[in-house]
Amino acid sequence: MKFLVDQHAHHHPTNIALIGDNEQFSYEKLAQITTGIAQFFQQQGVTGRVAMVLPLDIDYVILFLALLRLEVLIVPINTRFPDEKIQEILDEHHCQYVICDRERHLSVDNIFYREDFSLRDFAQTPFSLQEIDAEKPSTVVFTSGSTGKSKGAVHTFANHYYSALGSNEHIPISPENRWLLSLPIYHVAGIAIVFRCLTAGATIVCSQKDMATAITDHSISHISLVTTQLQRLIDNNHDLSTLEHILVGGSAVGASLVQKAIDYGLNIYTSYGSTEMSSQIATTTRLSASCDNDRFRPLRYRDLKISTEGEILVKGHTLFRGYLQGSQVVGVTDEKGWYHTGDYGAVKEGYLRVYGRKDHMFISGGENIHPQEIEKELYTLSQVKNAIVVAIPHAEFGFRPVAFVDTTLTAQQLKQYLQKRLASFKIPDHFLEWPQHVPMKGIKPDRNYFVKEAHTQWGIS
CATH number for the domain that contains residue 408: 3.30.300.30
Q: Using CA atoms, how far apart are residues 308 and 417, in angstroms rounded to an integer?
A: 32
Question: In this structure, is residue 424 part of a structural domain?
Answer: yes
Question: In this structure, is residue 452 part of a structural domain?
Answer: yes
Q: Using CA atoms, how far apart are residues 34 and 157, in angstroms rounded to an integer?
A: 16
Give the closest residue to 278 by CA, choosing from 394, 408, 138, 380: 138
Helix axes 188-200, 157-170, angle to 10 degrees: 70
| Of the candidate ranges 143-147, 231-235, 239-243, 277-281, the one whose mean pLDDT is the lowest | 143-147
* Ramachandran assignment for 315, one of left (phi > 0), alpha (psi -120 to 50 degrees), beta (any other): beta
Give the closest residue to 452 by CA, choosing from 398, 405, 385, 404: 404
Question: DSSP secondary-structure letter at 119?
Answer: G
Give the closest residue to 371 by CA, choosing from 385, 384, 386, 357: 357
Question: In this structure, is residue 410 part of a structural domain?
Answer: yes
Give the closest residue to 53 by CA, choosing from 74, 32, 30: 74
The range of the structural domain enclosing residue 399 comes to 362-457
Residues in Cβ contact with 305 at an 8 Å cutoff, skipping those fewer than 6 apart: 313, 338, 347
Question: In this structure, is residue 141 part of a structural domain?
Answer: no
Instruction: Give pLDDT, residue 290.
Output: 62
% of the chain surpassing 70 pLDDT: 96
pLDDT tens, position by position, 446-458: 888 998 888 888 7
Question: In this structure, is residue 90 part of a structural domain?
Answer: no
More confident residue, 149 or 380: 380
Question: In this structure, is residue 450 part of a structural domain?
Answer: yes
pLDDT tens, position by position, 8-49: 999 999 999 999 999 999 999 999 999 999 999 999 999 999
% of the chain surpassing 90 pLDDT: 71
Count structural domains, the chain.
Answer: 1
Question: In this structure, is residue 401 part of a structural domain?
Answer: yes
Helix axes 58-70, 188-200, angle to 10 degrees: 80
E runs forming strands in 221-360: 222-226, 245-249, 268-274, 279-283, 297-298, 302-306, 311-316, 322-325, 328-330, 339-348, 351-357
Strand-pairing partners, residue 350, are none
Question: In this structure, is residue 325 part of a structural domain?
Answer: no
